[in-house]
Chains A and B, each alone.
Chain A
Amino acid sequence: MLVAAAFDFSDFMQQVVSGLASGGIYALLALALVIIHRSTGVINFAQGEMATLSAYIAWTLIVNHGWSYWPAFVVTLALSFAGGIGIHRAVIRPVERGSVLRIVIVTIGLLVAINGFVIWKWGGEPQQLQGPFGTKTYDLGGVVVAAHDIGTIAVALGIVGLLWLFFRFTKVGLALRAAAVNPEEARLVGVRVTWMLALGWGLAATLGAVAGMLTAPTVGLDPQMMQAVLIYAFAAAVLGGIDSPIGAVVGGLLLGVLLNMLSYLSQYGAFDWFTEELRLPAALLIILAVLLVRPTGIFGRPEVKRV
């Protein structure tokens, strides 16, 4: 049963902060999934592997070529952006017409191929990628928080903010939204829709790269690193409403905190059947419960179709 006496507020807050940090990473990857879903209409199964590849590129620049963190960060983002556009031009565009499942299978093919490539190039053993924020901890009114967690939250929210400004206030951002909402009419008013879709893939790859570089320092850089994160991001995106960028961010943060709360409460014996192994299934179950009440996610709007 619940042991209320053992409840410790600062411990609780610590869990919330670290939940927000992992939630920030889920939010970034979920946002990438939402951007691609809005433009291409599919879930990009390769999103996690693309992020892993980016993290390995950053690792190579830092460890093998002796770069310092931030230049490597920027160059990796640029390379990932170009890579995302390249993937769209090379393999997605040729299959864009026709069944959606065909694109899904192509992204599964990409997942397998990129994962194979990473193992082939860098081997399967885990590597160390140092984070830029060190291992310091800060004491904020009795709540001990790790610098890495604060940094992760700041970077995630910063990127989300920049992206919002881009979509809201630039002409290209407007064109991107137009191409996603109504490709035919966007084309009529002079938007180069194909390039906008490619740009969407580039942005998604960039977001993934940030998520990958933020994940590597805590869980260790290995070829399977982003697979669980992708499942969480998928869940977060669906929870928020698959077409809603705000939903993806809120869903990601909520999920991060929720997962940490589940393990936190179980240590107080609240759910003694709850083991670490059931973390993912339990999270998915809660999301399903939410979906049954709101079938298009928290921020999603039901689609109205003309027959």
Chain B
Amino acid sequence: MTPRTQRLIGFVAFAAFVVFVAVLPAFVSDFKARDYSYVGIYLIALLGLNILTGYTGQISLGHGAFMAIGGYTTAILMAGNEEFGGPISGGMKDVWTLPIAGLVAGLVGLAFGIPALRLSGLYLALATFAIAVAMPSTVKRFEEFTGGGSGIQLFGTPELTGSISNVEILGVSLTPNDWMYYLAWSIALVAFAVAWLILRGRTGRAFRAVRDSETAAVSSGVSLARYKTLAFGISAAYAGVAGGLFAIASAFVNPDAFPIALSIYLLVGIVVGGLGGLSGLVFGAIFIFYLPLWAQGQDLGSLLPDRIIVETQKPGGAAIVYGVILILLMFVIPNGVGGLFRRVGQLISNRRYSRPK
């Protein structure tokens, strides 16, 4: 396959996926649409994390904290924090807060990227982990700004589009759940396209050079400082937008909405989706959203004997299933779903080109 046909196939697949996303709500219940919007939100966060970890090789265990920054930016701009004694009066419509959520988180990411330049590998992992660990207690500490442990309620506020009634947009009336679905997924698809554009050119090449060998990258004139901080900034901005959408979708933020486990599951998501690839991340997002629910045992299916299903419904049983599946998955698809795609693609093209003339 020439690069050109490869790219063509990519475009066609993306267009097909856009169509699929657009018509999906017509075929599922309204309630499911809200679930799917969370998948879109996770996809945005995973795209960002993969730019940093999969493409630039910098491990982050703290992306949940950047999501929290985005989520709180959105919530504070919408509801204000005057009721807790803060200076912001709020009143901004939810959709318009999202660029600002991305910008604020991105700036924090850039600022964090500068000291992080001195660290690499596990030391960087600890540094990023530290932000994730520090986030809940910092939020609780600055109560007058964030509402403390009880968080900020957004449900029913005039700034929240479609919290109760249907949403009229472009002459179509959408239920609140469908509105959330289309909002999350249109941003996710744009984010996907933007990530692809960033990564295909000079910047993406520099990122990959830094990942594969810092020394070699520097020797060929790639500025480590510029590209590492840039990767941090872009990645955090993605997480910020995802966090803002998360706040809108759940109509609520509090410190427990962004636990340490979230940061770790985002890492799980990119490894399952495939490091250094974009399309597999859709499966990573589906995985981290659905597997915990599925492992509760409700849909465990008739494949297993009844006795085992009863046992997994005891407390802790779901976690055992989740952990074991995670381990097995790493055995079966070492390079994630994205790696599986590439493998299949290779097999097909090998067959095609090795056929005797």
Residues of A that sit less than 8 Å from B by CB = 37, 43, 45, 91, 94-95, 98-99, 101-102, 104-106, 108-121, 123-124, 223, 231, 234-235, 238, 242, 273, 275, 277-278, 280-281, 284-285, 287-288, 291-292, 295-297, 305, 307
Contacts and interface: CB of A to CB of B under 8 A. Distances in A.
Contact of B271 (A105, A238, A291, A292): A105
Nearest to A107: B327
B278 interface: no
Nearest to A277: B137
A106 B126 CA distance: 19
A108 B324 contact: no
B16 interface: no
Interface string B178-206: 00000000000000000000000000000
A266 to B, nearest CB: 13
26 contacts: A43-B122, A43-B125, A99-B335, A101-B275, A104-B267, A105-B267, A106-B330, A109-B323, A110-B327, A112-B326, A113-B320, A113-B327, A116-B320, A124-B316, A231-B133, A242-B122, A277-B137, A280-B133, A280-B134, A281-B130, A281-B137, A284-B126, A284-B134, A292-B119, A295-B118, A297-B123
Interface in B72-131: 115, 118-120, 122-123, 125-127, 129-130
Contacts of B318: 116
A305 B347 CA distance: 35
B140 to A, nearest CB: 6
A241 B215 CA distance: 22
* 3 shortest interchain CB distances as A-B pairs: A113-B323, A116-B319, A119-B316
Contact of B130 (A101, A109, A275, A284): A284
A235 B137 CA distance: 18
B216 A307 contact: yes
Contact of B141 (A114, A121, A275): A275
A124 B319 CA distance: 13
Interface in B200-258: 213, 215-216, 219
B248 to A, nearest CB: 28
A291 B117 CA distance: 11
Contacts of A235: 126
Contact of A278 (B141, B268, B275, B326): B141
Contacts, number: 146
B167 interface: no
Contacts of B282: none
B27 interface: no
A220 to B, nearest CB: 18
B335 to A, nearest CB: 8
Nearest to B149: A277
B24 to A, nearest CB: 29
Interface in B238-297: 264, 267-268, 271-272, 275
Given A119-B319, A291-B127, A109 B140 contact: no
A91 B327 contact: yes
A287 B134 CA distance: 13
B137 A101 contact: no
B130 A94 contact: no
A242 B123 contact: yes
A28 B299 CA distance: 42
Interface SS majority for chain A: helix
Nearest to A242: B122
Given A110-B323, A287-B130, 8 more contacts: A99-B275, A99-B335, A109-B322, A113-B320, A115-B316, A123-B315, A234-B126, A291-B118
A21 B107 CA distance: 41
B41 interface: no
Contacts of A305: 215
- Which of B59, B141, B311, B323 has the most chain A CB atoms closer than 10 A to its own CB? B323
Given A113-B327, A116-B320, A238 B118 contact: no
B334 interface: yes
A108 B129 CA distance: 14
Interface in B35-68: 53, 59
Nearest to A98: B334
A119 B315 contact: yes
B320 A101 contact: no
Contact of B268 (A108, A114, A223): A108
Contacts of B324: 109, 113
Contacts of A112: 319, 322-323, 326
Nearest to A231: B133
A113 B322 contact: yes
B316 A281 contact: no
B355 interface: no
A115 B267 CA distance: 19
A295 B129 CA distance: 16
B25 interface: no
A196 B134 CA distance: 37
Contacts of A273: 141
A236 to B, nearest CB: 10
Contacts of B326: 105-106, 108-109, 112-113
